[in-house]
Amino acid sequence: MFDTRGIRDELQALKNDLADALSKRGESILDMSENEVRSAAAQMSSALKELSDTLEREEAQLEKLVGEHPIAALASALALGVTIGWLLRRH
């Protein structure tokens, strides 16, 4: 089946990196020089690029799985849609 652990780990690592960067720099962001701001932006851009690459790899894997098992994918989507519809209707 599709392993979401890798995506979850990447997202958590990105969240932690951004939280650390913002907490360290958030207090003195007004006092930062233009070079420091550009450096922080470059770090965030790099982290987002890495996440994008990971998501592209996972998307390719998901497309492969759906292509190999189209009936199972359709049945899963139908079951998920019915479940969500039932939950929304209930509330």
Whether residue 54 contacts residue 10, with contact meaning beta carbons closer than 8 Å, is answered with: yes
pLDDT tens-digit readout, 6-34:
778 877 887 888 777 777 666 666 666 77
Using CA atoms, how far apart are residues 6 and 12, in angstroms rounded to an integer? 10
Please count the residues of the chain: 91
pLDDT digits (tens, 9 = 90+) for 62-74: 888 889 999 998 9
Residue 49 has pLDDT above 80, yes or no: yes
pTM here is 0.40
Tokens of 87: 């939950």
78: which 2 tokens?
Answer: 């139908």
Average pLDDT over residues 53-78: 88
Banded pLDDT at 3 (limits 50, 70, 90): low
DSSP summary character for residue 27: T
